[in-house]
């Protein structure tokens, strides 16, 4: 699709533009965290514990006297890193397996799709919890486990696109000219199959951020003292009646981030749909 046409279609969707703007803002905030955070996010100050929002502590302090705003800003880095790395890994695996299944078909397709069906039989959250409980909880383990358990949707999308594209005239012409399977896949089929993958990856980032937040809330994600939005929610659940800001702000951060990625993904889907 022509880039100008794509941008014009995407710009007509106000909600998608708002989502893209929020995502861009999140990247800017996480990148500028050392300069935006007014305090050290890990500095404990018992004398100022559970302080409500004020001029010195704009979003208040937690039960250890740590600045909520600073931890919120640094937590954006963790959420973005987990979301992007996990989805990148899942997309790479899905592209590889989906391309092989769709292009070669037959036994290869059957084995890959049955393995995909087997993975889909297990509830992803319980599978992630089981693996994380065995491994040592860390940000890298969280990213790898989320990536290894969320590639199935991408694989199915790529397989369907390859089945549709492999018998088109341009593919048959490339094969008649003696192009290798690798060249046909990489130069002719894959570029034409990336549009739905891009949409799935954008929506997948939101799912990965939610999963990481849930794991951190349960104590199985990124470990303290690293600031994460899920861990901040867990810290605030015992103080809901007297320190509402501990749960409100990280909850809003998760809500707005996931919503912005979903809006942007829906906008990409509409803009890339040739039927529109």
Please state, in angstroms and rounded to a whole number, the distance separating the CA atoms of residues 234 and 256.
18
Average pLDDT over residues 127-145: 82
Give the tokens for residue 24. 């861009």
Count of CB atoms within 10 A of residue 76's CB? Answer: 24
Asked if the model's pLDDT at residue 275 lies above 60, the reply is no
Residue of higher predicted confidence among 127 and 20: 20
pLDDT value at 261 more than 60: yes
| Closest C-alpha among 171, 199, 201 to residue 186 | 171
How far, in Å, are 131, 215, 240, 254, 259 from residue 126 at the CA level?
Answer: 9, 11, 28, 21, 24
State residue 113's pLDDT score. 92
Model pLDDT for residues 224-234, shown as the tens digit of each residue: 788 889 989 98
Provide the 3-class DSSP secondary structure of residue 67. strand
pTM value is 0.88
CA distances from 244 to 50, 213, 241 (A): 10, 19, 6
CATH class given for the domain over 75-272: mainly alpha
Cα separation of 101 and 156, whole Å? 9
Model confidence pLDDT, tens digit, residues 40-68: 888 888 888 888 888 888 998 988 889 99
Res. 273 pLDDT band, cuts 50 70 90: low
User: Given pLDDT bands bounded at 50, 70 and 90, which one contains residue 87?
Assistant: very high
Check residue 21 and give its pLDDT: 93
Tell me, what's the pLDDT at 68? 92
Q: What CA–CA distance (Å, rounded) separates 134 from 50?
A: 35
In the predicted structure, residue 1 carries a pLDDT above the cut 60: no
Sign of the alpha-carbon dihedral angle for 7, 265, 226, 141: negative
Query: What integer pLDDT is reported at residue 182 of this predicted model?
Result: 81
* pLDDT score, position 72: 93
pLDDT for res 9? 85
Domain ranges of the chain: 75-272
Tell me the three state secondary structure of residue 207. Answer: helix
- More confident: 2 or 247: 247
Residue 162 and residue 180 in contact, taking contact as beta carbons nearer than 8 Å: no
Nearest-angstrom CA–CA distance, 257 and 247: 16
pLDDT of 85 over the 80 cut: yes
**Which of the residue ranges 74-78, 91-95, 235-239 would you say has the lowest mean pLDDT?**
235-239
**Radius of gyration of the chain from Cα atoms?**
22
Cα dihedral 115, 120, 125, 128, rounded to 10, equals: 0
The burial of 175, by beta-carbon neighbours within 10 Å (0-12 exposed, 13-18 middle, 19 or more buried), is given as middle
Q: What is the pLDDT of residue 181?
A: 78
The residue among 70, 72, 67, 65 whose CA lies nearest residue 50 is 65
pLDDT exceeds cutoff 90 at 193: no
Average pLDDT for 79-92: 92
For the cut 70, the answer to whether the pLDDT of residue 276 exceeds it is no
């Amino acid at each position: 699709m022509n880039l100008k046409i794509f941008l014009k279609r995407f710009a007509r969707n106000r909600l998608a533009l708002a989502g893209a703007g929020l995502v861009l803002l999140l990247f800017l905030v996480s990148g500028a965290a050392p300069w935006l955070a007014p305090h050290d996010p890990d500095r404990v100050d018992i004398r100022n514990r559970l302080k409500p929002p004020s001029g010195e502590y704009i979003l208040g302090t937690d039960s250890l006297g740590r600045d909520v705003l600073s931890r919120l800003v640094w937590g954006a880095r963790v959420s973005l890193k987990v979301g992007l790395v996990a989805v990148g890994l899942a997309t790479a695996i899905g592209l590889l397996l989906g391309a092989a299944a769709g292009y070669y078909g037959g036994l290869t397709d059957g084995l890959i799709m049955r393995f995909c069906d087997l993975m889909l039989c297990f509830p992803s959250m319980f599978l992630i919890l089981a693996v994380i409980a065995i491994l040592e909880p860390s940000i890298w383990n969280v990213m790898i486990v989320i990536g290894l358990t969320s590639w199935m949707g991408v694989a199915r999308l790529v397989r369907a696109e390859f089945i549709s594209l492999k018998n088109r005239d341009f593919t048959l012409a490339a094969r008649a000219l003696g192009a290798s399977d690798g060249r046909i896949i990489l130069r002719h089929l894959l570029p034409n199959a990336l549009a739905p993958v891009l949409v799935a990856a954008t929506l997948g980032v939101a799912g990965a951020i939610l999963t990481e937040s849930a794991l951190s809330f349960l104590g199985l994600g990124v470990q303290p003292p690293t600031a994460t939005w899920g861990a901040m929610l867990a810290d605030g659940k015992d103080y809901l009646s007297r320190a509402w800001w501990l749960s409100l702000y990280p909850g809003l951060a998760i809500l707005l981030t996931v919503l912005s990625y979903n809006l942007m993904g829906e906008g990409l889907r509409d803009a890339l749909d040739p039927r529109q």
